[in-house]
Structure 1
Amino acid sequence: MKRLAVALGMAALFMAVHAAARSFTLAQAVDFALTHNSMARLAKARGAAAQAELRLARDQGLPEAGVSYGYLFSNNPLEALSAELERRQVSAAAFTPNTLNHPGITKLGTTTLSLSWPLYTGGAIHEALRAGRYGRKAAQGAARRIRQSIMAQVIQSYEGVLVAREALAVAHKAVVAARRHARTARYLYARGRIVRSDALSADVNLGANEGMLAEARGNVRIAMDNLATAMGAPAGLAITVPRVPLRVVPVPHHDLAAFYRQALTDRPDIKSLRAEIAAMRARAKAARDRSSFQVRLTAQSQWFSEIPNLRHNAWTVGAVISKSLYDGHRNRDRADVLEQRVAELEARLAGLRARIRNHVARAFDNMRTAMTQYRIANANVVRARQAVAVTQVRYGEGRTILLSLLNAEHGLVQAREARLTALYALAANRAALAAACGSLSRRTLASLGIAS
């Protein structure tokens, strides 16, 4: 019964783990990351903040309305006479010397409804609106760039999982062959047909391949962890990747200059920084415009009584024209600060252009190098297989020693690993090149030729 309970518990645990696991294709992994990755959430929050700033700029041109109620107790003669006038209850008796000098305690409630509307601000509100629109555009460009970075990271991590699994399969085959050779060597040594050094070499080869297998298993776990991190997967979600064949990612036929032009035109961070510069210029102009003439419409309606009601109404409508003559140079200095920030952003833009050229050139060169390495490694795999086949025949005929066969098989394993490394470099740098050029998006994912 105890064994049955343990078995049932292990089965339940196995089913729970696999029930929580979820398989992702590359496209599904990208979609998941664009929603759950922390940087994607940050980009969304920045976009919302930029939209709120634009609404704030629009609100500056809207009228302000307010209502208030106040109640006054006073024995001030002037307040007493004013209260009688406001309540429209003035009589001849109110102007006698005794009443004017000793009015008693006056009680007055005042309900006020006010309206204020900026009609002209010297262009400050207009420039604030321009700054808000450019700020929103800058946030949108930054968000697109973050999404491209997330996509490139997911693609590279996903391809890393596929390559790590293929490397694990290569290592497993190598261990199977090494175990077979070790058993054969022990058998032959026990019968005196080979020397002890050959048997020891077979055991050493087995140990080396078992170490490679353990490392390959660890690499698969690391690759899966990297993918989960890139996707922003929660801790309770187990991720699996379907088995798809590794593809040879094609190298684009465009020259490097064409990629440069595309990057400087399409990169979202370039567009974002240009919009940020325009927004900063608009803010600087708005700061200077606040020292210009200001025109504001005002309106007010009041109700006066000892108890709150809407009797005895008085209203006032007018316009106010104002101009700041001296504010301690605050507006001027604020504009100077913003214009210096414009200069800083322009310097950043020049630096960004240089970095983009470097990113494009590096990804382009790395991809071409990876393709060359793949062709060499693929040819080496063919030659290594032929070498293993020839050596196996010679070893079976007793014309060579076991060490030669072990070396030939080790060469085949190395050639396969080099080919896998080149395949990963091709896919990773293809994604990096698309991201560097600003062309990486959910719609262009399939056109990259990477497993999807």
Structure 2
Amino acid sequence: MRIHLKHLALLVMVLLGKLVVASEPPGKTFTLEQAVDYALANNPELNVMQARIEQANAQLGEALASFYPQIKASLSYQHSDNPAQAFAMIIAQRRLDFNGGDFNHPGGVDNYRPQVTASYSLFRGGQDYFLSQAAELGVETSELEKSAIRNRLVNNVSAAYYGELAAIEAHQIARRSIEAVQSELDQSRIRFEAGTVLKSDVLSLDVQLAEAKDAEIQAGNAIELALSMLKTLLGMSSNDSFAIAETAGQALPETPAGFEELLDQALGHHPELKAAEKRVAIAEQQLSAANAAHLPRADAYVSYGSDSKDLAFSSNRDNVSAGVMVELDIFSGFATQEKIKKAEHELTAAQELSRQTRLRIENQLKSAQLRLQEALNRAQVATVAVQAAEEALRLVNAQREAGVVTVTRYIEAEVARDKAHTRRINARFDALRAEAELKQASGFWQ
């Protein structure tokens, strides 16, 4: 007997996230829920997204800083023997003496000026507002992207877990087949020695035993492959001891809802689609900020300081300056126009990406729904086939004992029974995996 594991391999080939080794002690037996929780707590990609959320929050704080006054402290030093500059510094230092020297030859004059300056942006064409709105949307986008990654991780862990269970069940079937064929072969050899069985029957059973052992080797390798994938997904090294809880027969999922109902749920809740829509809104705010550069800018400022020939401060020499400055870019070398064009193209790209995301989600949703419905139908048919194959094998065994049928008929019944069980395993775990994909596609995991 040969159990084909082609469909089984599809169950365990899932996207593998690189995870951090956590503090969970090795050797723990994981249920599916525990495996998911472990992955969510230790996945570095989720930690990266959390860092990006914090980065977006920092960018929001940076954007909001434009709405606060800016205060600076400075200290300047100047030395000059230029009569005009030297005369101005002497006046600023409050030590002008009309009888104290030659104004045309003042000599070198030193001037120290410590000062504090406060400035406030009165108007920037709305740029600060638009950029702050874009930064706020950036925080929301990062949070949605983290939810999308979380959805994918839960789906991948679920698929890997079901793949491991499918491999274990396939291995059990292979072991059972070896035991059955080996028992029949031992009895046939005894009958052959007694002259009641043909040599060809014994050889046929030898071939069948070899095929059963080959299937057992493939199933055992599938277990190791699935286990290795699951360890990698959970962030464990290949040397860590790990096992999954082998629950007895997971219940089949329910029949999926209609596509329109699933689509409405996805459009209203799917984090990837919501994140794409947020990116469009960010691009719109950035375009508005770029267009606002054509408008004038107004800033108010006030400064307080003192001038002296040394660093000694005196309130007798302090002074205050205040004013308002209005600027308007007449020509910036086409920089403003190019920034607007760039923002327009970024908006177009964001809109198309949003449309592409929606189409992809619709396709994933439809595919997952069809796969789940197909797997449920296959599971129903396979269950009936298993019952029929088991009964057929029982009858053939009875006929074989009575010497009515040949060993070839027995082998055919054995192979049919094992194939029926394999098809039921594949259908059941295909349904569970399709259910996980459907939940991800509809945004249910979040």
Normalised to the residue count of structure 1, the TM-score between the two structures is 0.88
| Shift in Å, 1:224 | 1.4
- Is 2:252 the counterpart of 1:246? no
Among residues 298, 310, 319, which one is paired with 2:324 in the alignment? 319
- Equivalent position of 2:12 in the other structure: none
Question: 1:101: how far off?
Answer: 2.1
Aligned CA distance change for structure 1 residues 136 and 235 (closer, same or farther; 3 Å): farther
Q: Which runs of 5+ in 1 are unaligned?
A: 1-17, 442-452
Task: Give 2:258's aligned residue.
Answer: 255
Task: Provide the secondary structure at the position in 2 that maps to 1:318.
Answer: strand
Q: State the distance in 2 between where 1:254 and 1:19 align.
A: 41
In the alignment, is residue 403 of structure 1 matched against residue 408 of structure 2?
Answer: yes
RMSD: 1.9
Residue 450 of structure 1 is matched in structure 2 by none
Aligned to 2:89: 83
Tell me which residue corresponds to 1:174: 177
Distance change (3 Å), C-alpha of 1:235 and 1:38:
farther
Aligned length: 421
Deviation at 1:181, TM superposition (A): 2.0
Q: What is the DSSP-based 3-state SS (H/G/I as helix, E as strand, rest coil) of the residue aligned with 1:413?
A: helix
For the residues of structure 1 that align with 2:119 and 2:238, how far apart are their CA atoms? 54
Deviation at 1:340, TM superposition (A): 2.0
Residue pairs, 1:401-440, within 5 angstroms: 401-440=406-445
Contact 2:256 2:372 in 1 (8 A): no
Q: What residue in structure 1 maps to residue 18 of structure 2?
A: none
Identify the residue that residue 48 of structure 2 maps to in structure 1: 42
1:251–1:367 CA contact under 8 A, matched in 2: no
Q: In 1, are the aligned partners of 2:110 and 2:310 still within 8 Å (CA)?
A: no
Equivalent residue, structure 1, for 2:156: 153
Q: Which amino acid aligns with 1:387?
A: A
- SS of residue in 2 equivalent to 1:92: coil
Mark the CA change 1:23 to 1:307 in structure 2 (over 3 Å): closer, same or farther: farther
Q: Give CA-to-partner distance per residue, 1:293-318, whole Å, 9 cap, x none.
A: 21211111123233323323222122
Aligned to 2:98: 92
How many angstroms apart in 2 are the aligned matches of 1:243 and 1:145? 29
Contact between 2:144 and 2:275, CA under 8 Å: does it hold in 1? yes
Give structure 2 stretches of 5+ with no counterpart. Answer: 1-23
For residues 68-87 of structure 1, give each alpha carbon's deviation from its aligned partner in whole angstroms, at most 9, with x where no partner exists.
Answer: 22223322222322222222
Partner SS for 2:253: coil
Instruction: Pick from 51, 59, 63 the counterpart of residue 65 of structure 2.
Output: 59
TM-fit CA distance, 1:229: 2.7
Secondary structure at the residue paired with 1:250?
coil
- Tell me the equivalent position of 2:75: 69
Q: Give me the TM-score of the superposition, normalised by structure 2.
A: 0.89
**Residue 376 (structure 1) aligned with residue 376 (structure 2):** no
CA distance in 1, matches of 2:106, 2:397: 125
Q: Deviations over 1:142-163 (max 9, x none)?
A: 2211111111111111111111
> CA deviation digits over 1:389-442, x for unaligned, max 9?
11111111111222222221221111111111001111010011111111123x
Following TM superposition, by how much is the alpha carbon of 1:374 offset from its aligned partner in structure 2, in angstroms? 0.4
Q: Is the 8 A contact 1:248 1:426 kept in 2?
A: no
Residues 1:134 and 1:226: Cα distance change in structure 2 (over 3 Å): same
2:339 to 327, 334, 353: 334
2:358 partner letter: R
Cα distance in 2 for residues equivalent to 1:236 and 1:290: 60
1:128 has 2:134 as partner: no
